[in-house]
Amino acid sequence: MQSETKSRVDQLTSPAGHPVSVLRFEGDIASTSKEAVLGTYQSLPKQATKLILLDFSKVEYINSSGIALVIQLLIEAANAGQRVFAYGLSPHFQKVFTMVGITKYAGLYPGQQEALAAL
């Protein structure tokens, strides 16, 4: 059974001193996750948000509909001139994200520290 997707936004500062918005997801990401994924992203102030981290460390499963939501988020971010980095994916989902081309839009990192260091 699919678990509900939860999301929240934290604000951090990059090592270079730039503001970073962290979208933290929890649960499973599927077609029912549109508000948690896209709604949370779209609530960010576009002009002030240039660096985004996607935290998947508490996500247990992402189905094809969930991957489509992530891709939509990444396309919107690219069109807005935002840079996106993702971390916390299991090895399986790192492979899936690479296979479907998500790495063209977002760097993938093992953890938050590595993602922040790449900013």
Q: Taking the model in full, what pTM does it have?
A: 0.95
Per-residue pLDDT in tens (0 to 9) along the chain, 119 residues? 778 999 999 999 999 999 999 999 999 999 999 999 999 999 999 888 999 999 999 999 999 999 999 999 999 999 999 999 999 999 999 999 999 999 999 999 999 999 999 88
User: Judging by beta carbons within 10 Å of its beta carbon (0-12, 13-18, 19+), is residue 20 exposed, middle or buried?
Assistant: buried
pLDDT at 2: 74
> Which domains does the chain possess?
6-118 (3.30.750.24)
Backbone angles phi, psi at 22, to 5 degrees: -110, 120
Cα–Cα distance for residue pair 86/70, rounded to 1 Å? 10
- β-sheet bridge partners, residue 25: 7
